[in-house]
Structure formats: C-alpha cells, structure tokens
Amino acid sequence: MRRRRAKIRQIAPDPVYGDVLVAKFINKIMWDGKKTVAQKIVYRAFDYIKQKLGKDPLEVFKQAVENVKPVLEVRPRRVGGATYQVPIEVQEPRRTSLALKWIIEAARAKKGKPMYLKLGEELIAAYQGTGAAIKKRDDVHKMAEANRAFAHLRW
C-alpha cells in the first residue's frame, strides 16, 4: 500500500527578482546550506546574461528553463519477470525540477571557469536551444520514442 502524498512546501520568492522559480534555482545550486554563495552565483550569472545578450535576464532564464523541460521520460516497469522501459508523460512540477537540475549539472560539468560564468553560458545556450542541458532533454525524448512499443504497459 502506498503512503500519503508529500506536502508541497511553499517557497518564498527570491529577494532581487521576486520570483519563486529563481528562488528554487538558488536552492538547487546551494551546497552545504550556503545560500548567500548560491545567490551570488545566480545573480552574477544573470548580470553576465544581461551584459552578453542585452535582454532581461529573468526572461532569458524562464525561456531557457522552458526549452529544457522534458515532455516524456521512461520509467522501469516489471511485467512477468522482465523489466521494460515504459514512456510516460512528465508532470509539471517534475518537468521544472528536471530542467533546473539538468542546467545546473551541465554548468557544473564544464571546467576551468568560475561557476557564475559556466551557469550564465549554459543558460544562454539553453535559451538559444543548444547546450548540454538541451542535449540531455533530447536524449530523454529519444529514449521515450525508442520505447514507444511499451507505451501500452503504462499504469
């Protein structure tokens, strides 16, 4: 029997842009509870975006996240001793969460630059529809497409 649903916590909007999505992004970047460090990284990355593109960094950020959000993903499902990768649609909170996670992972994977630069470049790349986070989304979509034959096993 499954337990009850987890309560969804309300996150306070970030102090500079007054946006909940930016606050979630800061929380995801944060390591060892060092929120001010995470905020500095994000805001410096936003300044870099503003300087590089000359557009509102909040709009660029939101569009980048929107571009990275996956529509489908595969989940393992056991049927009669065999495990199938079954494609399922991703629900909205998870879509956003995955997008933020992939952008941060892609930025952290780059080497030899300060984090704010790597993050700024990755956000710009995602905004333009390129970059490692977009490639990750495409790979997830390809997996789901390749396993479309098992879509009837969805529960």
User: In CATH, what number is assigned to the domain containing residue 107?
Assistant: 1.10.455.10
**Residue 137 φ/ψ, nearest 5 degrees:** -60, -45
Question: The whole model's pTM is what?
Answer: 0.90
In a domain, 138, yes or no: yes
In a domain, 83, yes or no: no
Give Cβ neighbours of residue 118 (< 8 Å, ≥ 6 apart). 107, 108, 110
* Strand blocks (E) in the chain: 72-79, 82-89
In a domain, 32, yes or no: yes
In a domain, 75, yes or no: no
Q: Flag whether pLDDT at 70 surpasses 80.
A: yes
- For 86-110, write each residue's pLDDT tens digit: 888 889 899 999 999 999 999 999 9
In a domain, 4, yes or no: no
In a domain, 7, yes or no: no
In a domain, 84, yes or no: no
In a domain, 12, yes or no: no
Say how many domains are in the chain. Answer: 1
Q: Flag whether pLDDT at 154 surpasses 80.
A: no
Q: Is the dihedral of CA 109, 30, 61, 145 positive or negative?
A: positive
- For 28-44, write each residue's pLDDT tens digit: 999 999 999 999 999 99
User: Coil, strand, or helix at residue 104?
Assistant: helix
Q: Flag whether pLDDT at 85 surpasses 90.
A: no
Among 69, 47, 74, 72, smallest CA distance to 58 is for 47
Give me the domain span that covers residue 138: 20-67+89-153
Q: What is the secondary structure of 15-31 as a DSSP string?
A: TTT--HHHHHHHHHH--
